[in-house]
Amino acid sequence: MSLYTLAPKPGFDRYTIQVGWNPHRTYFATVVDFAWDPVTDPENEPDTVRLGLLETILDPTEVLLAVAPYADIPADLAATLRADQAAHPVRH
C-alpha cells in the first residue's frame, strides 16, 4: 500500500489530503477536515472527498483530478502511483 499526503492549496489549509494505492484493489483519495466540530461550528461544514472505499479505481488520474481543487499535485505523482500499482499488483 502507498500513501501520500499532499500540501493543501491556499485557502484549503484546514484539510488533510491523501492519495495512494491499495493492493487489495484500488487507488484511493481522501480530503478531510479532522479538526471540524459540528457542535461548535455547524455553519462551516467542510468539503469531504472519499474515493476508492466502495468503488474500484484503476487509473490514478481519477483520484488526482478529485483532489486537484484542494492540493498541489507533484508533476510525477501519477507515475509514482502507477509504479506503486506495478510493484504491488491487485491481490486475487
Over residues 22-76, the pLDDT tens digits come to 988 899 999 999 888 889 888 888 999 999 999 999 999 999 999 999 999 999 9
Q: In the prediction, which pLDDT does 84 show?
A: 96
pLDDT confidence of 92, banded at 50, 70, 90?
low
DSSP state of 12: -
Residue 63 lies in a domain: yes
Q: What is the pLDDT of residue 2?
A: 96
> Could you tell me if residue 9 is inside a domain?
yes
How many domains in the chain?
1
| Closest by Cα among 71, 39, 66 to 51 | 66
Q: Of the candidates 25, 5, 24, which has an alpha carbon nearest to the alpha carbon of residue 15?
A: 5
- Is residue 8's pLDDT more than 80? yes
Ranges of beta strands (E only) in the chain are 2-6, 16-22, 26-32, 49-51
| Structural domain boundaries enclosing 68 | 2-78
Q: Rounded to two decimals, what is the model's pTM?
A: 0.89
